[in-house]
A and B are shown apart, each in its own frame.
Chain A
Amino acid sequence: MYIRIENANKSFQKAATRKQPAARVDVLDQINIDIKENEFVTIVGPSGCGKTTLLRAVAGLTGLDSGEIMVAGELVTGPSPDRAMVFQTFALMPWASALRNVAFGLELRGVDKSEREEIARDLIVKVGLKGFENSLPSELSGGMKQRVGLARALAVNPKVLLMDEPFGGLDEQTKRLMQEELLRLWELERKTVVFVTHSLDEAILLADRCVLMSARPGRVSEILDIPFGRPRTRDVERDSTYIDIKQKIWEHLRASQIEEMTLQSEGNVH
């Protein structure tokens, strides 16, 4: 297995509020997921199910209480250049041009300027931003910013691409366009991708497998195989299997979401 998440547990102390006493919340509860090399896995679940925490743990940004995560045979103990991340809020440096943002990972590694800019220019063309090399993030639209974020992640040529609701902040049209772009890019350069989302369509359209999580405690409730071939287009959305899978995910999500709401309203009674 390329990425092996084994018995991952993590909880945090939730501070007391006026309505609820302090409590320990299990964000991750015995998570086990195996991901193959060059596999595209999406993680979908209700808010608060720990999907982002899980992704951050794989990135090495946050530790586990117990359990372990192996990537390419190595135990994750901290961030590594092998694992690049794409952020929901883009996390671009507002003072740096698109080109410099894309080249940032290489700059950190001490790749010299002409070489890293050549790589960055290449990727900027690949993600469809030719002509915007010298633009500042504030001059780019949300979709363009995330193209920069994606190019930055690809620039370091990582083994694993971690994407944390990368299109969550974009409007519907842009989001759909970006999903198609990602499919296209993934065909050009297959990587192992872990993609967190709360969009059902995204979770199916992009994935080889889709991990369903439930909240409080954050658990893996099911892992679905997405049986559509590659290269893939949006046409699969009309497939009856697609509709069945979407239905299944929705039923799961609705159940956990309702449960979550009930828990919260019970909490409010105290």
Chain B
Amino acid sequence: MSINRSELRSKHLPYVLSLVGGLALLEVFARILDKPYFPTASGVFSRLISLFAEGEFRIDLSRSLQNLFLGFLIACISGITIGILCGRYSLIEHVLRPYINTMVTAPSILFVPIYFVVFGVSRWAIVALIVDYAVFFLIISTTTAVRSVDREIVEMSKVFGASERQRMRLILLPSATPLIFAALRIALARAIKGMINGELLIAVVGLGSRSQNFARAFDAEGVFAVASLVVTVALVLGALLSFVDGRVNSWVPDIRRKG
């Protein structure tokens, strides 16, 4: 990844300045306010450091991340597969649509008791909730992505004798990839929400339980430390996704450059 000067100026510099400025503002505001429920940025940061020093906290973090990866992976594989099938075969879409629409609209929290009963107090109840948060959105987005394929290109593939499988692999999939990646980023954010909610509500483990314990103890610094860690995880994973996105979808013309 090469960073050129103009990109540094137009993209990365404002990003960093905004972040630093926001933190500085929070710090100043918190110091003026001087209330325990509104911690300073520096306080949160040092708290995070000391939390990391605890072995148990690192275990909590890794547990949470494992759940996240598992849930997100399951959501990706099943969501994209079902989405492609729905996009390609309208019968499948018509059959599944009422359920998908229901599930994407209903608050996932509603289903927590069911996961609790089915999976018990285990990792899998949380993983199920993470999948629930991410998968239906992914199905809908992937369906739209597959639908938006250029008709002429499909027609061209027919003229040149593409089989059903070839059309899927060589036309529909690559054409849908950019939109699928855009959906993956949002799905990732949703999966993270699912992870935290799952830990708060289902099993009392991981970062969610940490955060809950801090909240019970009115430890605002602790709550914010966990929250900022979650945000950092989200940002890092998001950056990873957009890096892959840039590699895979480098053919998508950058309209900003031309505009």
Chain A contact residues, CB within 8 Å of chain B: 59-61, 79-81, 83-85, 87, 89, 91-96, 104-105, 107-109, 136, 138, 152, 156
Contact = CB atoms under 8 A, between A and B. Distances in A.
A91 B152 CA distance: 6
Given A61-B159, A80-B161, A85-B159, 20 more contacts: A59-B159, A79-B159, A81-B161, A84-B159, A91-B150, A92-B153, A93-B170, A93-B171, A93-B175, A94-B251, A94-B253, A95-B177, A95-B251, A96-B174, A96-B251, A104-B157, A104-B160, A107-B170, A108-B157, A108-B170
A84 B177 CA distance: 28
Contacts of A79: 158-161
Contacts of B175: 93, 95
Contacts of A95: 174-175, 177, 249, 251
**Majority secondary structure, B binding face:** helix
A89 B152 contact: yes
Interface string B137-160: 000000000000010110111111
A91 B161 contact: no
A81 B160 contact: yes
Nearest to A92: B153
Given A105-B161, A109-B161, A91 B174 contact: no
A156 B160 contact: yes
Given A91-B155, A93-B171, A108 B160 contact: yes
B90 interface: no
Contacts, number: 61
Contacts of A138: 251, 253
Report which residue of A85, A95, A104, A107 has the largest number of chain B beta carbons within 10 angstroms of its beta carbon. A95
B156 A108 contact: no
B112 to A, nearest CB: 41
5 contacts: A61-B158, A84-B159, A87-B155, A104-B160, A156-B160
Nearest to B154: A91
A9 to B, nearest CB: 22
A173 B158 CA distance: 32
A89 B154 CA distance: 13
A143 B109 CA distance: 56
Nearest to A94: B251
A227 B157 CA distance: 37
